[in-house]
Copies of this chain bind each other. A is one copy, B any other.
Amino acid sequence: MAQFVSLQDAVRDVMSDGLCVALEGFTHLIPHASAHEIIRQGFKNLTLVRMTPDIIYDQMIGMGCASKLIFSYAGNPGVGLLRRLRDAVENQWPVPLEIEEHSHAAMANAYEAGAAAMPCALFRGYLGAELKQVNPNIKMISCPFTGEALAAVPSIRPDVSFIHAQKADRKGNILIEGIIGIQKEAVLSAAKSVVTVEEIIDEFDTHPNAVILPHWTIDYIAEVPGAAHPSYAQGYYARDNSAYKEWDILSADRDLFLKWMAEHVMQQTPDVFAKRAQFTNPQSTGQGDSCDE
């Protein structure tokens, strides 16, 4: 049953060192505030799961939270590479990082299978792809009817999943609209879930087939306006594309990175996100200034 709490309390209650944790959001609704709170509370040895590690995992990895990463695309989308992740993989800085790498199709199927409580996912994938030579968690099995070789991967079942959504109602039901990504699966595949929302409203007035997660599938809800910034929340604020471009520079150097994290993450609270996002509302795209407030 969903409890309304502060993000600090949710992270404190649900997290511990060594857990398998997914923070999801496919470009849209990326839970930046949750990532920052996990970093601030100093959790270590996490197995991080995410299709597109993106800035949030670059930050968590660079701050030494993770010992393993399960992923399918480790880039800063449209900008370039993830420099903290590279430093961990190439130079074991700040700590060694084991990786388990998949394709998007495999991860999407694995989350779907996790939400369906299956032990594995089956799909027609990895044909000719070398990943299956380097990842022992990719196996080929035969269709029992046609004999066709199909790819199998273990389902994803995180200990905790974090997502960001537009709205909760007072009962604790969650509404996600727009690019819905893999968030429903992230929550349903996890043992526990934490959802940050832009706002809490009395009652939804939406389409009968809108993506809604009932209150009994959610453990903690924290109202954190702007929590996705510099990602975006459809209907609230736009993607702060400049922040993504700036990250490429800020993350290139270890000292610059640490200095930036100290100032913009370690010395902050979740409240800071409301201010960061207010300059990028959809009606005034191009006004944000997240990285240098």
Contacts and interface: CB of A to CB of B under 8 A. Distances in A.
B150 A154 contact: no
Task: From A122, A143, A180, A207, name the one whose CB has the most chain B CB atoms within 10 angstroms.
Answer: A122
A86 interface: no
A116 interface: yes
Highest count of chain B CB atoms <10 Å: which of A123, A141, A143, A210: A143
Interface residues of A, number: 29
A145 B122 contact: no
Nearest to A147: B119
Interface string A99-119: 000000000000000001111
A3 B144 CA distance: 38
A124 B120 CA distance: 11
A248 interface: no
Copies of this chain present in the complex amount to 2
Interface in A120-152: 120, 122-124, 137, 139, 141, 143-146, 148, 150, 152
A207 B180 CA distance: 12
A206 interface: yes
Interface in A187-234: 206-211, 234
A122 B211 CA distance: 25
A120 B146 contact: yes
A119 B139 contact: no
Most chain B CB atoms below 10 A, which of A124, A145, A154, A180: A145
Given A120-B144, A177-B209, A208-B234, 15 more contacts: A119-B143, A119-B145, A120-B122, A120-B146, A139-B144, A141-B144, A143-B152, A145-B152, A145-B154, A178-B208, A178-B209, A206-B207, A207-B207, A207-B209, A209-B209
